[in-house]
């Protein structure tokens, strides 16, 4: 029960000191999540209130089921981009996608399928996040410039933005660029802010606290400042800024997601909606889990605690399923808000309760004030959040480390500008092909002497059998005179039936030319497979120590060989 309900691990030890730190962290994260939620809903192509609807349920669920104290669940830039691709800017599709993604994540957690993330390589992730950074940033340029009617497809977006740049609204552009400059300045200030020591004067510590709080809650401060500017213009009777507009006030209804949608020409049934989402039902759950586990692992390693990927799957699955009942679109772990949470000194996941409560209060009482938030300010918040996701150094790093890894990186990066799903799927396929090629062509070292010693640099699987046969036969038969072969199996921990059959055929081919095939350094699992295959020509000759333990039978003698092996064991035809 403690493993499946992690809250039971820390709740009995909860203290007043922890409560104070969790309250501070929860409030700080809450000031960050409210403006970000409004901005990310714009990226997802949904009405802005859906960003807030998506920001509180994950906080509550993760408090009880999460294994990392720092992680906060909610809308993110990456997930919002995916939702814009698979929900077609329809809230009904987005909410159903949330429910189905949660069910898939929950099933994966129960079946312990978290290991599937291991097949998504780092170059694929870097290619996707870097392309997403550019795509999301450029998607907000239209709001910075005050342009209307710009298409969402990336290449059309670039063309139309450049073509219509002369229509830029001066008020939006000035405010948007000013917000970007302030956000960049506060971010740089926070990164260079020295830690205040306890021995310093009270005034110095208060100054540090004010600067740190201002830099940490920079999104809220910038949005508040921009809203005051817009309200001032509204009072004066002129409005040079494009405003967010009305947002429905009140909490979302708690209800089942809709499994069909009314359309002008009839009703779209559940089956058609699922077919429309297509590969998104695989991409969204996996990318959601990938973000959450990667963030949890990063902060767990910094704070010396362990996380369980399968438990994270369960927490994320429950959060998305319950979130769909309150009109949430798919959520995942947020790196930026998790970093704020950790830097605020959070002690337990209970800080999420404070964050969730703050979002609910905003929905209940503050939505009327959101009317005056300029779209340019929200665009600045989004661009400031996603620009650090672009990792220009990864190209140079992979060129130095392993240039072949640039292939999946570039494939993913380039295709994500066309369609996100194509980029991710193509990158995973290319990584899989490179992995399979390395399995099918293992490094083989051949040393010549009285016999031919063949050493495998890695394990042996069935795709590599033909390569091994060609290498052995070409060297053994080309030697003058032809030489018998000894296969060093020290790197073989397991083999399959296809490999056993291939070795038997290799033995027969060498035997036709009067040559032998011997095996050395066999490990027990490999020896067991070779013997249980019961193929003609294989015999187990024990080492001298084994023979002595079994009653003095000489190696190669007529006694029955024991079913054991050591590093000196061999199989001889």
Residue 7 has pLDDT above 70, yes or no: yes
Q: Is the peptide bond before 481 cis (omega within 30 degrees of 0)?
A: yes
Residue 545 has pLDDT above 60, yes or no: no
Predicted confidence band at 238 (pLDDT cuts at 50, 70, 90)? confident
Q: Which residue, among 368, 359, 434, 449, has the nearest Cα to 402 in the 3D structure?
A: 434
Q: Which residue, among 271, 235, 262, has the nearest Cα to 372 in the 3D structure?
A: 235
Share of the chain above pLDDT 70, in %: 91
Q: Which residue, among 320, 279, 326, 306, has the nearest Cα to 109 in the 3D structure?
A: 320
Predicted confidence band at 206 (pLDDT cuts at 50, 70, 90)? confident
The dihedral over CA atoms of 520, 523, 526, 529, expressed in degrees to the nearest 10, equals: 110
Strand partners, 268: 261
**399 in Cβ contact with 406 (< 8 Å):** yes
What is the enclosing helix (H) or strand (E) of 447?
strand 444-448
- pLDDT at position 539 is 58
pTM of the complete model = 0.77
Residue 569 has pLDDT above 50, yes or no: no
Predicted confidence band at 537 (pLDDT cuts at 50, 70, 90)? low
**51 in Cβ contact with 41 (< 8 Å):** yes
Give the SS3 label for residue 262. strand
**157 in Cβ contact with 139 (< 8 Å):** yes
The whole-angstrom separation of Cα 86 and Cα 84 is: 6
- pLDDT at position 64 is 93
Min mean pLDDT across 84-93, 174-183, 536-545 is at 536-545
Around 208, how many Cα atoms within 13 Å sit in the side-chain half-sphere? Answer: 14
At 489-531, the pLDDT tens digits run: 888 888 888 888 888 888 888 888 888 888 888 888 888 888 7
**214 in Cβ contact with 344 (< 8 Å):** no
Place of tokens 């899989």: 432
- pLDDT at position 471 is 87
Q: Which residue, among 279, 353, 308, 378, has the nearest Cα to 42 in the 3D structure?
A: 378
Min mean pLDDT across 52-66, 102-116, 270-284, 542-556 is at 542-556
Predicted confidence band at 302 (pLDDT cuts at 50, 70, 90)? low
- pLDDT at position 551 is 45
Residue 547 has pLDDT above 50, yes or no: no
Predicted confidence band at 567 (pLDDT cuts at 50, 70, 90)? very low
Residue 365 has pLDDT above 60, yes or no: yes
- pLDDT at position 550 is 42
At 321-338, the pLDDT tens digits run: 999 999 999 999 887 888
**Residues 418-432, mean pLDDT to the nearest whole number:** 86
Q: Which residue, among 124, 78, 119, has the nearest Cα to 412 in the 3D structure?
A: 124
For the chain, report the end-to-end CA distance as a whole number of angstroms: 55
Q: What is the CA radius of gyration of the chain?
A: 31
DSSP string across 278-333: TTHHHHHHHHHHHHHHHHHHHHHHHHT----HHHHHHHHHHHHHHHHTTTPPP-EE
- pLDDT at position 68 is 86
**Residues 364-381, mean pLDDT to the nearest whole number:** 90
Q: What is the mean pLDDT of the chain?
A: 85
- pLDDT at position 291 is 83
At 159-194, the pLDDT tens digits run: 999 999 999 999 999 999 999 999 999 888 888 877
Residue 542 has pLDDT above 80, yes or no: no
Q: What are the tokens at 215?
A: 């830099």
At 34-44, the pLDDT tens digits run: 999 998 998 89
Ordered structural domains, the chain, with CATH: 6-389 (no CATH), 444-552 (3.30.750.24)
- pLDDT at position 339 is 80
Q: What angle do CA 202, 208, 213 make, to 5 degrees?
A: 125
Q: Which residue, among 338, 329, 327, 334, has the nearest Cα to 363 in the 3D structure?
A: 327
Q: Which residue, among 133, 141, 188, 183, has the nearest Cα to 390 in the 3D structure?
A: 133
Q: Which ranges of 67-194 does DSSP label H, i.e. alpha helix?
A: 77-86, 91-110, 122-139, 141-145, 154-163, 170-191
- pLDDT at position 558 is 36
C-alpha dist (Å) from residue 450 to 480, 488, 509, 569: 11, 15, 19, 20
- pLDDT at position 359 is 95
The whole-angstrom separation of Cα 30 and Cα 358 is: 6
Give the SS3 label for residue 456. strand
The whole-angstrom separation of Cα 379 and Cα 50 is: 17
- pLDDT at position 62 is 94
């Amino acid at each position: 029960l403690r493993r499946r309900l992690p809250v039971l691990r820390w709740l009995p030890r909860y203290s007043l000191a922890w409560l104070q730190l969790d309250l501070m962290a929860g409030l700080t994260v809450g000031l960050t999540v409210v403006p970000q939620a409004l901005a990310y809903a714009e990226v997802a192509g949904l009405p802005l209130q859906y960003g807030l609807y998506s920001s509180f349920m994950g906080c509550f669920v993760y408090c009880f089921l999460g294994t990392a104290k720092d992680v906060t669940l909610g809308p993110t830039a990456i997930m919002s981009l995916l939702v814009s691709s698979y929900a077609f800017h329809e809230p009904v599709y987005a909410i159903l996608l949330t429910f189905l993604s949660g069910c898939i994540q929950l099933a994966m957690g129960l079946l312990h399928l978290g290991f599937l993330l291991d097949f998504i390589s780092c170059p694929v992730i870097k290619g996707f996040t870097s392309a997403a950074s550019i795509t999301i940033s450029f998607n907000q340029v239209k709001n910075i410039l005050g342009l209307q009617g710009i298409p969402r497809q990336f290449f059309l977006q670039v063309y139309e933005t450049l073509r219509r740049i002369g229509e830029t609204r001066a008020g939006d552009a000035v405010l948007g660029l000013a917000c970007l400059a302030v956000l960049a300045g506060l971010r740089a200030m926070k990164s260079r802010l020295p830690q205040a020591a306890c021995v310093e004067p009270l005034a110095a510590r208060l100054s540090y606290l004010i600067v740190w709080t201002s830099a940490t809650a920079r999104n809220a401060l910038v949005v508040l400042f921009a809203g005051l500017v817009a309200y001032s213009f509204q009072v004066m009777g002129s409005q040079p800024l494009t405003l967010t507009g009305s947002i429905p006030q009140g909490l979302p209804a708690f209800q089942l997601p809709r499994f069909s949608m009314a359309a002008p020409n009839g009703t779209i049934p559940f089956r058609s909606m699922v077919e429309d989402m297509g590969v998104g039902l695989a991409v969204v759950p996996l990318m959601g889990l990938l973000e959450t586990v990667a963030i949890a692992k990063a902060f767990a390693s910094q704070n010396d605690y362990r996380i369980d990927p399968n438990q994270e799957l369960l927490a994320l699955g429950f959060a998305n399923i319950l979130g769909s009942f309150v009109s949430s679109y798919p959520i995942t772990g947020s790196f930026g808000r998790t970093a704020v949470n950790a830097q605020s000194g959070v002690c337990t996941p209970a800080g999420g309760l404070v964050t969730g409560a703050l979002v609910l209060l905003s929905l209940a009482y503050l939505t009327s004030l959101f009317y005056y938030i300029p779209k340019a300010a929200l665009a600045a918040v989004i661009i400031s959040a996603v620009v650090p996701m672009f990792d220009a150094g990864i190209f140079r790093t992979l060129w130095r480390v392993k240039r072949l890894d640039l292939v999946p990186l570039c494939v993913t990066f380039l295709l994500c500008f066309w369609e996100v799903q194509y980029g991710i799927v193509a990158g995973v396929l290319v990584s899989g092909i490179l992995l399979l090629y390395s399995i099918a062509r293992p490094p083989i070292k051949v040393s010549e002497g009285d016999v031919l010693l063949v050493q495998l640099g890695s394990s042996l699987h069935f795709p590599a059998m033909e390569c091994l046969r060609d290498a052995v036969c070409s060297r053994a038969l080309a030697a003058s005179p032809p030489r018998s072969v000894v296969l060093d199996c020290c790197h073989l921990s397991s083999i399959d039936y296809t490999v056993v059959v291939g070795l038997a055929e290799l033995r027969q081919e060498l035997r036709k030319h009067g040559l032998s095939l011997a095996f050395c350094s066999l490990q027990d699992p490999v020896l067991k497979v070779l013997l249980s295959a019961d193929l003609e020509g294989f015999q187990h000759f024990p080492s001298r120590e084994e023979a002595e333990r079994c009653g003095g039978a000489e190696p190669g003698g007529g006694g029955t060989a024991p079913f054991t092996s050591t590093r000196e064991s061999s199989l001889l035809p």
